[in-house]
A and B are shown apart, each in its own frame.
Chain A
Amino acid sequence: MLKNYENSLKNDELSLKLRKSDRTLYATGVGCFGFAIWSLIRLILSVYTEFDGLKAWISNGLEEFIQETAKTANGPLEAEVLKAIYFGSLFVVGLVFLTIFLLALLFQVYIGICACKEATGKKKKYLYILFAFILFAFYSLNSAGYAREISHMIYGLNLDAMGINEMEGTAKLLVDLMDNALDEFASLLLSLTSAVIALELIVNSIKVKVLRKKMAGGIVNEH
């Protein structure tokens, strides 16, 4: 009964490619958005779990600041004034860091949302592709940095293994190195994944634009 309709199913090569690219673009857009949210969660969790450490770091920092200022100052400065200067500076630095962090977050969110909108045919955008390039470059360099760190650690491990009978506390050193290496490896994986997502997003957003132009121009490949 639907014989005539069957012929109008969009199963030409162009349509298939476009559907595949649309879905990949959408998935990478969600991935980008997801990584941004993950960064925020990671920050919150880090502050929450390391809160005591953070407090200790701030108070140690204050002591050091007072001591260093005392050495270099021309005359005695009141502790309250020094405290105010220290915490004021910390606040400014913190604010700058947070601002940069939030901007980076919004950067990724913008890329993700634009990619999803492009994939669903809602809006045509171009700026997000440039931003995605920047993101890809950033994560690629980041990954290279982590890889370098890991290779240093492995190199360090080898040297320690060679002198294992002679050095004290080698076992602890090895365990520390392994722990750090694992941390770095996890960071490398995340960074690589983000780079791949950004790359896939760029490739598929370009593909989608090209294919849509072809379809609009009426170029259909028979299959």
Chain B
Amino acid sequence: MKNSIDQKSILQILSQAGMILILAATLGILVNEARPGKLSLWLTGGSEKQPVLGVETRMLISLDEAETRFLRDRALFLDARSPEIYKQAHIMRARNLPWEAFEQYIGTVMADIRRDRFIIIYCDGQTLSVSGDLAVALASRGYKNVHVLVNGWNLWLANELPIEAGTPAHARLREMDTQHGS
């Protein structure tokens, strides 16, 4: 009975494990390529159809619907980018809830927002997961009507939809509250 672990055994173990992995990779890739709605192996940015991991399909919203809701003022737009970028330009009437400082901002930004409000979150295409992360976080806080406009900022600009720059009134009030410690 062999009780020792020799080099041949180690080689056998590693080669068998390697073959299983190679076989699995081959099968996985072949099956993926053959199925409709395959997963993309090479994630790239810059399109509305890019998958936003962590976000359910029902949370995604098209540009057309987002524009319609904007024109009818039927949605709250949230900008998930940093405050510095938000101040340069953002979708008109959008509020800034930067994902990087979610806990710090959510109390003031969402203080007057009901849990059933229709919310549309956007960011730019270079930070894929930011709007998705924000959507998931808001959903976990009880906001039931949260949606993501994938690559929203770039699409909004490309379609010459209304934007504004600087700090909107509600944000200036928030800054004043913060400065006065309230």
Does chain A bind chain B?
no
